[in-house]
């Protein structure tokens, strides 16, 4: 009798542990580290407490200029032009639409200091990041690759 209870307890415990691990591994597929299309930066995409997706630069191939960290020198807000690029939030406010598409967000391009409407399309080990003005037809798509 005690053996049956012990066996039942172990079986239930193993089932609960496996269920927990399966759900924990079911993270969203874009929540990773990605190389930008030029391979000059890594962007960490994460899901925030508001349920939306964001991305920030966490690595630069060339992090320094004249022994100083690269800064956001083209930012339209003059008070932000000395902010370091490393740690800069460049993706904001994306919501998931379907299995592979993320919409309603923006992408910031520190090369020109402009922010664009943006969609992200997840394709396995790549992301198609499309920034545009007005409608998606008038834009540019960059392919980012998974950085593991």
User: Is 47 part of a structural domain of the chain?
Assistant: yes
| Percent of the chain whose pLDDT exceeds 90 | 78
7 within domain boundaries = no
Question: Is residue 82 assigned to a domain?
Answer: yes
Residue 46 lies in a domain: yes
* 11-31 per-position pLDDT tens digit: 334 344 333 333 444 589 999
| Lowest-confidence pick of 10-24, 27-41, 126-140 | 10-24
Number of structural domains in the chain = 1
Instruction: Give percent of the chain with pLDDT exceeding 70.
Output: 82
> Is residue 55 included in any domain, yes or no?
yes
Global pTM? 0.82
Query: What average pLDDT is seen over the chain?
Result: 87
Q: Is residue 63 domain-resident?
A: yes
Segments forming the whole domain that contains residue 124: 29-146
Residue 18 lies in a domain: no
CATH number of the domain residue 118 falls in: 2.40.128.520
Closest C-alpha to 63, from 79, 87, 80, 81: 87
Residue 97 lies in a domain: yes
107 Cβ contact list (under 8 Å, min separation 6): 90, 91, 115, 116, 118, 129, 131
């Amino acid at each position: 009798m005690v053996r049956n209870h012990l066996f039942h307890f172990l079986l239930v415990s193993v089932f609960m542990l496996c269920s927990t691990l399966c759900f924990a591994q079911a993270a969203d597929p874009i929540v990773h580290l990605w190389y930008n299309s030029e391979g000059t930066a890594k962007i960490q995409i994460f899901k925030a407490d508001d349920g939306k997706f964001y991305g920030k630069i966490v690595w630069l191939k060339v992090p320094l200029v004249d022994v100083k960290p690269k800064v956001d020198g083209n930012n339209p807000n003059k008070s932000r032009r000395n902010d370091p690029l490393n740690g800069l939030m460049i993706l904001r406010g994306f919501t998931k639409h379907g299995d592979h598409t993320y919409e309603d967000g923006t992408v910031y391009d520190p090369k020109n200091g402009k922010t664009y409407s943006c969609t992200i399309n997840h394709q396995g080990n790549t992301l198609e990041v499309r920034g545009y003005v007005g409608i998606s037809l008038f834009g540019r798509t960059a392919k980012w690759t998974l950085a593991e």
